[in-house]
Each structure stands twice: as structure tokens, then as C-alpha cells.
Structure 1
Amino acid sequence: MNKIKQRIGNYRYRILGLLLFATTINYFDRSIIGVMAPTLQKLFDWTNNDYANIIISFQVAYAIGMLTMGGIIDKLGTKIGYTVAIGIWSVFGMLHAAVRPGFSIIGFSLARFGLGFGEAGNFPAAIKTVAEWFPKKERAFATGIFNAATSIGAIAAPFVVGLIVHEDGKNWQIPFLITGALSAIWIILWLKYYKKPEAHPSLSKEELEYIQSDSEVETVGAKIPWIKIIKKRQAWAFAMAKVTDAVWWFYLFWGAKFLAETFGLKLKDIGLPFFIMYMLADLGSIFGGYLSGYFIRKGWSVNKARKITLLICAVMIIPVSYVAFAENKWVAVVLIGIGAAGHQAWSANIYTLVSDVFPKKATASVVGIGGMVGAVTGIVSSKILGSLLDKADNTAYFWAFLIAGSCYLVVLGCIHLLMPKMTPLDENLVTVKE
């Protein structure tokens, strides 16, 4: 078996490494403000509603970007499209450091808007790349690996911030500047090493055949119109699955505030709780991707393997509903970590649903449509939570965690109703006859 794998080659994992790197930068960039939220709120005298509006500016742009970036990436291809996306988000990420106290809300909102638009390109590009470079039986695992980088970025943020930024806000600009250098390195590597598998000189014939063993090569020609894609129930099944993104936004942007306000956690102490939460999330992402692939290798249908895995994830997340009752910060941290692990396992599999069903030339567009729905859900939930926290104090967190723990089972039921069999579609979006 090892000899066979060696003969096939593993160049595809070098490409996966670049996806891991890009997604780490992506989540480091977007996580910084959540980690520094209690400090920035005091430094600039923001209310919870002000902070919610700044977060919402990111989410609005992310929704717009998801709707447009997916189509752009399908049109330009992953090499150019991904480069454009990371270039945009890097510039606006660094522009946060130029904001001055006199216009902090407007300045941060504009910087977050640009950041959100650029970062929206990451997942459509990465999922499309996985569809190009991995056979179906490995896609969930590959997605789970690069999706784990969301947690790596989120883990890195509190340690970097805690090391550089003082409790009074001194040096708050520096973390926003770090990603510029990282992004420049990534762009150089991406432009040097990325090509489609069928055109890559470093890829062996055996590995190319393995990659294409259970899927068709993306054909050259006109892209599938966006309006045609949204008419398919399968696209809305994925969009429904992405409603759960609001839960992840909640952990990312409100988690540090919850711990600071409920347990008095200081900026310098936030690193270890975040490490625990997001390490659990990493393990969940990799395990979730592995599990559905394991079921497929055991002979299960793709439909059964993906949905049973999603069911396991949904059940695993339920305990997060009880976080608001935790009297010990470490109990709360572990419960949030378990919820984050379940979400990341869920996320690795719902992204794979797209390439399981849709042709490669529509993959980024479908991911973008779903991402837009997830971002809009996050906008609504952030606005409601910010308003409730200003009016009802921390009791609003009870409802937030209750919904976070219970919504996945409801969403899974909707996915099954919209897409009961997960039958693949051809390049005209017509159901492939079994």
C-alpha cells in the first residue's frame, strides 16, 4: 500500500499547504479585532452596539464579496482570483493601523469593510482548488486540513496581541501590520507553484490520473451563469448549511468579550483559553474531514457518509447551549471548544457537499452564494446581540449560546429535505443519471 502511494506521488499536498497558509493569514487578520475588543472598546469609548456595527461592516462586505468573488474566481481561475483576494484583504488589514481616535468608528468600519470583501475570496478559491487537486474520496479530509487553519489563525491572534499590545492599548496598531508581510510571502509562493493539475510540470502522470479518478476535468469554455445556479435546490441546501456560520462569527468576534465580561479575563491572559478552544476546533476539523472519507472507503454512499457525519457533528455541538450556566471559566472554555470542534467538523463536510454535487466550473460560485447567506445571518445575529447586551447586560449571552447549540439539527433537517439524495449535476446543471 505504501509503495502504491509513493508511486502515485503527493504533490497535491504542497498545494494544500499553500491553502493552509492562506487561511491562517485570513483568520489571523479577522480575529485580531475580536481579541482586542475589550481593550479597543475602552480605548475608543465604544458601546456594544458601536462594536456590533463595526463587526457588521465586515460581515456586509463579506456577504457582498461572497456573492461576487465566487463568480470572479470561477471566471479568472484560482491562480489569479486567489491572488486578487489576498491582495485586497492585506491592504485593508494594514489600513486598520492608520485609524485615529477622532474617527475610530468610521475608520474601523471602512477598514473592516475592505477586509471583509477581500477575505470573502478565500473559501471559494480554496474549495475550488481542492476540487481541482483532490479526488472526491479525499476532498473532505483535505478541506478539513486547510479549514483547520481558521483555528491556527485564531490561536495565533491572542498570543501575538498579548505579547505586543498593552492593557491600555499601547501598540494596538502593530498586529494589523504583521499580515502584510505574510501575505507578500504567500503571493510569491502561490504565483510560483500553482498551476492546474493537468498543466503542472511537477505532477506525475500517476498522481494526475489518481486526482481525476472519480471526477471530470473542468472544461474550457463559458462559465455557468450565476442566475442558473441559484435556481437549483442543491445550491440552497448548501446555503442553508452556511446559516450556521453565524455561530462561528459569534465565537470569533464575541468570545473574548464574553470571557472578559463574565470571568474578568484580561488581554494578557486570553491566549491560553483561545488556544484550548481553537485547538479543539482544529481537531474537530481534521476528524470531521477524515470521518466522512472513512465511511466512503467502507463502501457507504457519499450521501450517507456526509449526512451521518453531519448528524454526529450536530449532536456533538449541543452541550455548548449550557455555557451561560458555567460558573468556572475553564468549563466555559471547554464547552465552547467542543462547540467549535463540532462546527469545524461540520464545516469541513458542508464545503465538500458543493464539489460532491456541482461541476468544478460552478464550485466557487456556489460556495460564494452560501457564504453570502452565512454572512447575512451573522450580520443579523451580531446586531441583535449588540443591542441586547446594551439593554439586558450579559443575560443576552444565554440566548446566544442556546441557539448556537441547537440550530445544527434543524439545519441538517432542512438540508436533507432540499437535497435528499445528493445526486451529482453535470456541466449543464442537469442531474446525472445513476
Structure 2
Amino acid sequence: MSGGDRTTLATPAAKVGMYRWRVCAMLLAATTINYVDRQVLGVLAPFLQDEIGWSEMQYGAIVTAFQAAYAIGLLCAGAIIDRLGTKAGYAIAICVWSIAAMSHSLAASVVGFMLARFLLGLGEAGNFPAAIKTVAEWFPRRERAFATGIFNSGSNIGAIVAPLLVPVIAVTWGWQAAFLFTGALSVTWLAVWLLTYRTPEQQPALSAAELAHIRSDPPEPSAKVPWRRILRHRQAWAFVAAKFITDPIWWFFLFWLPKFLNAEYGLTLLALGLPLVAIFVLADVGSILGGWLAGRFLRLGWSVNRARKGAMLVCALCVVPIVFAAQADNLWLAVALIGLATAGHQGWSANVFTLTSDMFPRHAVASVVGIGGFAGAVGGMMIATFIGWLLQTTGSYLPVFLMAGSAYLVALLIVHLLAPQLAPARLDDDAA
């Protein structure tokens, strides 16, 4: 029976099925694997640095290679996935990052790790564009935010799973096995995706009622808005600035926290797990509370501008105490301060992403997010090089924590100056 036939058989009284949530579970699994794969190097970094003998600046260069490729990938992935479709586009992205993840096991030099990280960045950049497009294909608009929130939680799950899984594998079978194992997870996901994924109209397991539910929205505008039109507006630059200034702090948390905990508190590979899990669990809590707080302010009668920026201010203030983490005498005090900061970042990020829908029409949101994601990756590339040089020359994490503690307040000030009322950008006027 064709997809069109199934649509006509649907009735208002028919029970809507749940198959679309299976697809969402696949996206959650892919995003979790994506973050596990990128986190392996960060968890193993203190010990690989001793074994292979790279310097702080060389480790910074390795991280920079990933960030540069990720930035390039964000510019290209969306167009490739739009052209090839979600099934083929997602498959290519995860195939590239699977090969890249496993290729780390063959690296024996700084150049080898840089090449592996560059390839990993190119592949992993395709995850979010492909997942968001899949959500658009499988969910009506009223369910998309929830579905996106579910699969996006995989970023925090991956950051929690990696420090639990990777040290055990590395200690038992060697560090190369950690890269091979996580790469194998990606290959397993790829096989399931290729065997089971179809568009809703082509999926025989989908009921007529659920297909009608998925296609219940009126047609959406599909015209692509050129970047040059978007970048004429101060609202776009507000989002770009927020991402450029604060995304690098998150990249620092992902790639340098294991090294910091090892250097300052002498944690062994196996001992890193619990502190890192505590930090990223707090990050997950912050992501939820940050979004809830803005909604709470709106329910109190605040304007969108005041509610959004009020929530962003609270999140920014949560990051400020991290300036004391570099000199904390107690491990768990440092973990608490860093965990509060990661919670602040994730709450901040939830509200920053929502800025795009506050200020831009739906058909332009993806483009604005892509521009901001590119800016954040470029910022991450710059901070990776800077941190490598800083640690090589001073050996102190204090300047990095000082920068992290102030970055969000600076970013909020710039957002307010560029978009004082969060007024909608009038893109239609540009086309006239």
C-alpha cells in the first residue's frame, strides 16, 4: 500500500502510532555515539601525552585540527544532506566519522592524530544537520522541539558515558582498543540505519494514522534565505557573537578537563570517571533548568526580551565562580565549581539557540544556527591553539578559568547591545 493510500485511510478517531519515536531513539543513539567518539581523546589525553610525548602546544594543534574540520563541515554538511537526503547523507557522515574514530588507533605521531581528528571533525559535523532534518521529516511542528530535545540530550549522555567506558577499555586492552570500540559502535548504528530507515511515505511499518499525524501541518515555506541577507541584520550578529564567545568554553570543558584533573589532583585514568560524570550530570541538569527558567519568567508575565535575557544572566552568573576552581585545594570543590559552570553553559546554550526563533522566521532559523555554529567552531579552534600555548609557557590553568568566568557576561552584554529588544529581523523587507 502506498504512502498516499495510507494517508487517505486515516481517520480522526484512529489511534496515532509511536513509530516516529523509534526514529527519534535512533537519533539519540547517534548523537550519544557522536559525543563518545569525540570525547575519547580528551579522556585519554593526559596519558597519551606521556606515552607518545606530545607537548601542550602539540595537543592544542591536535584539538585545533578537529575544530577546523568541524567548522568546514558545518558549512558544507547541510547542503550535502539536503541534496542526497537524510538516509544517504547521514550514512556518509557516520561512515566518515567511524573510519576516523578507528584511525586514531593507528596514529603514532602528532601529525597522525591531527589527520585523524580532522577527518573526525568533518564527519561529526554532519550529525546535527542530518538529525534536525530527520526530525522535520518525521514529526509535526508541535512535536519537533521535544524530539530535538530528546536526541540533543545524547550530547550530555555521551560526555557521561565516555569517562565511564573509555578508561576501563584502555586499561584492559590498551588505548588503541578504546578508539576501535567506539568506532565499532558507529559502524553498528550505521548498519541498523541503512537496513531500517525509510522516509515516512516509504516506511511500511508506519500506520496510516501516524502518517496523517506527521503530515498534519500546513505546508511550510521552503525558500532558502541567502547568508548575505541574514548577515545584514544585527540580530544575526548577536547570535554569532554569543556562539563565538561562549562555545569555546564548552570545547575547553570537553577536551581539557581530564588533563586539568590529572595535572592538579593526580587522578589516574580509572579515577577520572566519577568526577567527570558528576560534572556532566550537572551539565544535563543545567540544560533542563535553563530552558525551564525562561519559561517560568514568561509565565510570570515578563516580556520575551526580559525573560530570555534574565535566564541568560542567571546562567552566566553560574559560570563566574569557576575562576576559583584553578586554585581549589579540594578535588570535589573544584568538581562542584566546574559542574556549576557546565550547568550554566548548557542552560545558556538552550536560551541562545532559542534566540534564533525569537528573532527569525522558521524558514531562516536553520541557516542562522549554521552560521552561529560555524562561528562557535572557529572560536573553539582559536582557543585550542591559545590554551596549548598558554599551558606550554606558564603551566597554569588560572587564565583559562578567568576567561571562562567572564565570557558569558561579556557575551550577554554584546547580545543586548546588538538586539536590545530581541525585535524580529524583517527579512521580507530585504527581498522587496
TM-score normalised to structure 1 length: 0.84
Alignment of 1:310-321 (within 5 A): 310-321=312-323
User: Partner residue of 1:107?
Assistant: 112
Contact 1:124 1:367 (8 Å CA) reproduced: no
Q: Which of the residues 249, 255, 258 maps onto 1:256?
A: 258
Counterpart check, 1:23 vs 2:31: yes
For 1:245 and 1:122, how far apart are their aligned partners in 2? 17
Unaligned ranges ≥5, structure 2: 1-13
Secondary structure (helix, strand or coil) at the match of 1:23 reads: helix
**1:78 Cα deviation after fit:** 4.3
* Aligned residue identity for 1:66: L
CA-atom RMSD, angstroms? Answer: 3.3
User: Partner residue of 1:378?
Assistant: 380
Counterpart check, 1:227 vs 2:228: yes
Q: Which string of whole-angstrom CA distances, capped at 9 and with x for unpartnered residues, describes residues 167-225 of structure 1?
A: 9xx61111212233322343355553464799995463784488x4xxx74345x5333
**1:356 Cα deviation after fit:** 4.4
Q: Which string of whole-angstrom CA distances, capped at 9 and with x for unpartnered residues, describes residues 51-86 of structure 1?
A: 111111111111111222234345555444333322
For 1:306 and 1:129, how far apart are their aligned partners in 2? 28
* Aligned residue identity for 2:100: F
User: Partner residue of 1:204?
Assistant: 210
For 2:357 and 2:98, how far apart are their aligned partners in 1? 28
For 2:31 and 2:193, how far apart are their aligned partners in 1? 13
Distance 1:88 1:299, change over 3 A: farther
Distance 1:70 1:429, change over 3 A: farther
**1:409 Cα deviation after fit:** 1.7
Distance 1:44 1:368, change over 3 A: same
Q: Which string of whole-angstrom CA distances, capped at 9 and with x for unpartnered residues, describes residues 262-314 of structure 1?
A: 11111111111111011111111222234434555666554444333222211
Distance 1:420 1:19, change over 3 A: farther
Contact 1:74 1:223 (8 Å CA) reproduced: no
Counterpart check, 1:35 vs 2:43: yes
Counterpart check, 1:157 vs 2:165: no
Q: Which string of whole-angstrom CA distances, capped at 9 and with x for unpartnered residues, describes residues 105-129 of structure 1?
A: 1111001001011112223334455
Contact 2:140 2:215 (8 Å CA) reproduced: no
Contact 1:246 1:381 (8 Å CA) reproduced: yes
Contact 1:144 1:348 (8 Å CA) reproduced: no
Distance 1:334 1:217, change over 3 A: farther
Contact 1:143 1:351 (8 Å CA) reproduced: no
Distance 1:60 1:205, change over 3 A: closer
Q: Which of the residues 186, 190, 194 maps onto 2:189?
A: 186
Distance 1:136 1:339, change over 3 A: farther
**1:237 Cα deviation after fit:** 2.1
User: Partner residue of 1:415?
Assistant: 415
Identical-pair percentage: 52
Distance 1:393 1:278, change over 3 A: same
Q: Which string of whole-angstrom CA distances, capped at 9 and with x for unpartnered residues, describes residues 304-362 of structure 1?
A: 44333222211222211211121011111111111111111222222233344444544
For 2:295 and 2:144, how far apart are their aligned partners in 1? 8
Q: Which of the residues 116, 124, 136 maps onto 1:119?
A: 124
* Aligned residue identity for 2:410: V
| Range that drifts further, 238-247 or 135-144 | 135-144
| Range that drifts further, 400-409 or 176-185 | 176-185
* Aligned residue identity for 1:204: E
Alignment of 1:20-169 (within 5 A): 20-99=28-107, 101=108, 104-129=109-134, 142-166=147-171
User: Partner residue of 1:406?
Assistant: 406
Secondary structure (helix, strand or coil) at the match of 1:165 reads: helix
**1:47 Cα deviation after fit:** 0.7
For 2:255 and 2:21, how far apart are their aligned partners in 1? 31
For 1:300 and 1:14, how far apart are their aligned partners in 2? 37
Distance 1:293 1:129, change over 3 A: farther
For 1:385 and 1:142, how far apart are their aligned partners in 2? 36
Distance 1:230 1:314, change over 3 A: same
Bigger-Rg structure (1/2) = 2
Secondary structure (helix, strand or coil) at the match of 2:394 reads: helix
